[in-house]
Every structure is written in structure tokens, then in C-alpha cells.
Structure 1
Amino acid sequence: MTLKYYQQHADRFFTSTVSVDMSSLYQPFVAALPDGATVLDAGCGSGRDSKAFAGMGYRVEAFDASAQMVALATVFTGLDVQEKRFDQLEAVARYDGIWCCASLLHVSQAELPEVMQRLARALKPDGVWYVSFKYGDGERVQEGRHFTDLNEAALERLVALLEGITIASTWQTVDKRPDRHETWLNALLRKI
């Protein structure tokens, strides 16, 4: 359902998100990265964040499940964006940082623990991991897309299942897109 939405609306989604200024969200993430870090943009959408991180001098790998989004992100970023789902991630201790901006929210609550385990395995020790979810607690379908919303307590329960992963900080923001007023839960996770 959600993948079909992004296949059908890739151009519109790309246009509505590619120019959004996310610099205030980048700051705490990049502050925790070592120089020359390898960063994974997991569920990269338009490639906006991948391009920003590459421009900061990081080695960036990116993937998205939608073939149309991959094609658009590849052209926009100049990176070799991969077509991949979260459940296909096999990397182990490869990344200094993982960026999951508005991407994990499309994973069902039932599948989220396993997906989070895969991402945790891909993160190097001392690595940093950014996640964001629409603020709430539960699952819903809206405009042809599935959403899993989290609040702080729900995130804590999820992270408690992950060996070696801790929550470094959480904060709420209002949607950065000018026509949206949703509240987001943002978190920085660390791997011990």
C-alpha cells in the first residue's frame, strides 16, 4: 500500500520535500559524527538529506524501497542510490551514522522491532542514529500510506529491545514543510 503510493506519487513527493530546510535537524546528528564518517540514509526519499551529508564531506550510502524515488534521488544526489527495503539490509558494523528521517514510520508495529535490529547491527560501536516519527502511539492509514506513530514511551519500549542501543536525546518539532502542522518525535540513538 505505502510503496504503491510512492510509486504513483514520486514526482509530487519529490517536489514537496526536496527543498525543505532540515539543517536544524542535521546539527545534533553531524555533531556526533567523526570526520569522514560513513552515513547511511535509510529510506532516503528525494535524496535531500543524502545530498546535504555528502556536501558536508561524509561518505553517504542511501536506499529507498520505491524504484521511482530511487531514480529521482540518484539524479538529484549524483549518488548510487539503491532500491532496497529495510528488511533487506544485511550490513554489520558498517556505518558511523544512520539517518532515518520520516522513513521508519511506514514500517508496521509488528515489523518494527526486526527492522530496528537490522539497523542496529549495521551501526558501528559509538555510532549515532537519527529517527523521526509522527507524534502519537499506534498505527493508522492516511491517504494510501501506513503510519506507525510513536511518542517517547513507545520509542523507549522499542529501543529497550535493542542490545547496545540507548536513547541519547528526544525532542519534538513541528513539520518543516510550510503547509503542514504535524508534530514529530525526533531522537538520537547511540550504540555502545
Structure 2
Amino acid sequence: ANLGFNVTAIDNSAALIDLAKTAAQQGMNHQNAIEWHCATFQDIVQKDWQRQFTAIWACASLLHVAYYELPKLIDGLLHMITDDGVFYASFKYGNSERVKDGRFFCDMNEEHWEALKQKITAEFKDKTWLTTDRRADRNEEWFNIMIKR
């Protein structure tokens, strides 16, 4: 928003949105440039937002969605970006689904991504790469995906 972009910020936690709003108001020059929504992933894809966004940033968020639900969700999100839009997502690297500390995780690797891509109906080009978590208390790899329509 400080760079002049209109931002639609979405989270399923109203408390987290309130924290983000407070932080944004303290460091923002363009307070009206952020539109806040409390919504689930399913709520998002049901909105009338076809071709509305130039980019979607889903950093470490889709990893809380079951693998079998991802193709339909990603299809819905891809329909929301413009024809020249981009979509970024990241997952913990692996090939399992698990619950850790009461939170669901769907890991992703090259094989899982290739299989998932076959179930997405929207046409796109993608690039994937691995990164290492930079937090001091973590020793994890992340599977990153950049999609261009």
C-alpha cells in the first residue's frame, strides 16, 4: 500500500486482522489503500472477484488446505487474477498431510505439485524452487510456486 498499490487483505481470523490493521495504520502513508476481509478460502472463491487482481500472495497459507481441495481452490484463485497476473504460494517441503500442535499442514514437493497441476483447469505457466527457512529456531525447506496466467 505504501508503494501505491491497492491491497485486499484477507484472513479467517478477525483478531489477526485487527492486529494487522493496527500495525498497518502505524506505518502507512495510504491508509485507504487496504481493504480488509475476514473470510475462509471457500468464502474467497465464491466472491465476484473475477479478473480483479494483478497478484495474489499466498505465502504459507494454502498449506492449511487439504491436498484434495487444492485444485478447485487454486482454480478459483486463478480466475481472480488478470490475464497477465501472477500468483505466489509456498508450502513446507514434503509429501504428507499432518496435524502438528493442533494445526493441519499439507506439505508439497515436485511430485505432488505435478500431480496437482493436472487437476487444475485454468491454463498457466509455473516456476517452482526451494528455499530454506531463515528463522533461527527452524530447520525447514519451503516449496515455492510462482504461477503466471
Q: Work out the CA distance in 2 between the residues paired with 1:158 and 1:62.
A: 26
Q: What residue is the counterpart of 1:107 in the other structure?
A: 65
Alpha-carbon offset, residue 159 of structure 1? 2.4
Give CA-to-partner distance per residue, 1:55-100, whole Å, 9 cap, x none.
Answer: 3332211100111111111211233421011111121111111100
Amino acid at match of 2:22: V
2:116 corresponds to 1:158: yes
| TM-score normalised over the length of structure 1 | 0.67
2:69 corresponds to 1:69: no
Higher helix fraction: Structure 1 or Structure 2? 1
* Matching residue within 143, 148, 151 for 2:101: 143
Give 3-state SS (helix, strand or coil) of 2:68's partner.
coil
Q: Work out the CA distance in 1 between the residues paired with 2:83 and 2:118.
A: 17
2:139 corresponds to 1:186: no
| TM-score normalised over the length of structure 2 | 0.85
Give 3-state SS (helix, strand or coil) of 1:110's partner.
helix
Q: Work out the CA distance in 2 between the residues paired with 1:59 and 1:176.
A: 29
Q: What residue is the counterpart of 1:84 in the other structure?
A: 39
Q: What residue is the counterpart of 2:87 in the other structure?
A: 129
For the Cα contact (< 8 Å) 2:7–2:35, is it kept in 1?
A: no
Alpha-carbon offset, residue 166 of structure 1? 2.1
- The structure 1 segments of at least 4 consecutive aligned residues displaced by more than 3 Å after TM superposition are none
Larger Rg: 2
2:131 corresponds to 1:173: yes
Q: Work out the CA distance in 2 between the residues paired with 1:150 and 1:104.
A: 10
**Structure 1: runs of 5 or more not aligned:** 1-53
Alpha-carbon offset, residue 139 of structure 1? 0.4
Q: What residue is the counterpart of 1:12 in the other structure?
A: none
Amino acid at match of 1:173: T
Q: Work out the CA distance in 2 between the residues paired with 1:80 and 1:58.
A: 11
For the Cα contact (< 8 Å) 1:159–1:165, is it kept in 2?
A: no
Question: What is the identity percentage for the equivalent residue pairs of Structure 1 and Structure 2?
Answer: 39
Q: What residue is the counterpart of 1:58 in the other structure?
A: 5
CA RMSD of aligned residues (A): 1.3
For the Cα contact (< 8 Å) 1:137–1:154, is it kept in 2?
A: yes
Amino acid at match of 2:114: E
